[in-house]
Amino acid sequence: MSSSLVLSIVIYVYGFAFIFYTSSAIFSKKEITKVGTILSYIALSGNILGFALRWIESYDKGYGHIPLSNLYESLVFFALVIAILYLYLEYRHKKYIISIICSLFCLICMLYASFQTADAIRPLLPALKSNWLTIHVLTCFLGYSGFAVAFALSVLLIMKNALPEKIVKFTEAEIDDLTHQMVSFGFIFLTLGIITGAVWANSAWGSYWTWDPKENWSLITWFVYLAFLHLRFMKGWHGRRLAIVSIIGFLAVMFTYFGVNYLPGLHSYGN
């Protein structure tokens, strides 16, 4: 069984999980929710299996590297971590509204990955042949995934008054606290990602910082989330005002992830 086949099946499972979660919110049926949860665990298991198989396939081809070297592989891993985070929140709080948004995120990531033409396993570029690649990319995408869940929570907080209470179930304070937790999680790992990226850049190109577009936008993203934490702890911001900052931060994440691939720079191989 190939990784491509497994990951293709995973797309459909995430899709059905999203449908069942949405249906459970509309019809308020716990039985439908349980099906969505089961499908999410199946999708996550398939996501992990597909990622592992692709890693094994890279060794079979004689390249032997973690599958995080192109946009296709990073999207697969992005969906994987988002799924882990939203299933953790679902298990911890026994509330499922956030799973609707996050399962949709996973579906979009996997669908977008399936449209990538440059999805073949290839040997790494010389600059990528480093253990720092694994550490740098893993930490960055752990950070991105935390920010993605925080974005989902922020959207939920802003829309809360427009949604029936039986669907949302979270209080505004609960959503606010969870958003802060996910931003803190993401901020820690983004910080580690920037630091490890600087070390990697020095070993690969002889400079810790080259003002590459991806580096610049990573720093901009870092400052947006630093502002989020500053406004919460030092200025006492909560609720919708802080949710807007979280949304702005995630827009910066998306440009850092996708937008800079269309700009010339040392990270242009990412697409």
What does the pLDDT look like over 237-257, one tens digit per residue? 888 999 999 999 999 999 999
Q: State the pTM of this model.
A: 0.92
Same domain, 168 and 250: yes
Is the same domain home to 159 and 97? Answer: no
pLDDT of 263: 67
Task: Kindly list the distances between the CA atom of residue 264 and the CA atoms of 33, 36, 38, 193, 212, in Å, as whole numbers in the listed order.
Answer: 46, 42, 43, 21, 8
Structural domain of 2? 1-124
Per-residue pLDDT at 267: 57
Band of residue 206 on the pLDDT scale cut at 50, 70, 90: confident
85 and 116 together in one domain: yes
pLDDT band at 9 (very low <50, low <70, confident <90, very high): very high
Number of domains in the chain: 2
Query: Residues 121-164: pLDDT tens digits?
Result: 888 777 677 788 789 999 999 999 999 999 999 999 998 877 77
Q: Give pLDDT, residue 269.
A: 45
DSSP string for 34-70: HHHHHHHHHHHHHHHHHHHHHHHHHHHTT----S-SS
Residue 26, pLDDT score:
86
**Where among 124, 154, 185 does a domain terminate?**
124
8 Å CB contact between 191 and 222: yes
Tokens representing residue 87 in the block: 């299933």
Q: In this predicted model, what pLDDT tens digit does every residue of 91-110 receive, in sequence order?
A: 999 888 999 999 999 999 99
